[in-house]
Structure formats: C-alpha cells, structure tokens
Structure 1
C-alpha cells in the first residue's frame, strides 16, 4: 500500500471487501488510523 500509487478503494476490492468505506472502518478499528492517514504518515 505504501510503495505503489494505488487507491484505497482498489486495495479494498483486492483483499475482498465489497465496500471501500467498510475496509477503511475495519482498518481504522484494527490499526487506530485510517488507511489514508497511514499512507500520509509513512510517505
């Protein structure tokens, strides 16, 4: 996720989520940050 310019929605679909927003909620619940926040933090 950090090494490519892939959109969060594309990643969500690749890992089996039907909804990018559901992926973002689950990601934030597990890691404490949204996927976009993590991309910005580690870029």
Structure 2
C-alpha cells in the first residue's frame, strides 16, 4: 500500500471492475481499500 488509488490498484492487479475489486478486498481484509490507502498516505506524509 503505497498510497495508490483503489482504482489504480484494481487495474494493476488485473481487475477490470473497480467495484468487484472493492468487494473482494473488503471480503479479504474486512474494510474497503480506501481505508488502507488513506492510512498509507498518512504514514508517508508523517515520515516526510
């Protein structure tokens, strides 16, 4: 999780449907991908 947008991440790993990626991500990790991308952004800006 490097702060990449959920849509960019979805396409990068082979999904053609962002909503499908979001559903699968939520099922696997218990939260939408936006939560993790926001946390990554905060960590990155705090380290700068």
- TM-score, structure 1 as length reference: 0.74
Of structures 1 and 2, the larger Rg is shown by 2
TM-score between the two structures when normalised by the length of structure 2: 0.68
Could you tell me which runs of 5 or more consecutive residues in structure 2 were left unpaired when the two chains were aligned. 43-48
- Backbone CA RMSD of aligned residues: 1.6
Q: Which has the higher helix share?
A: 2
Count of equivalent residues: 41
Where in structure 1 do 4 or more consecutive aligned residues deviate above 3 Å? none
Larger RCO: Structure 1 or Structure 2 (Cα < 8 Å, ≥ 6 residues apart)?
2
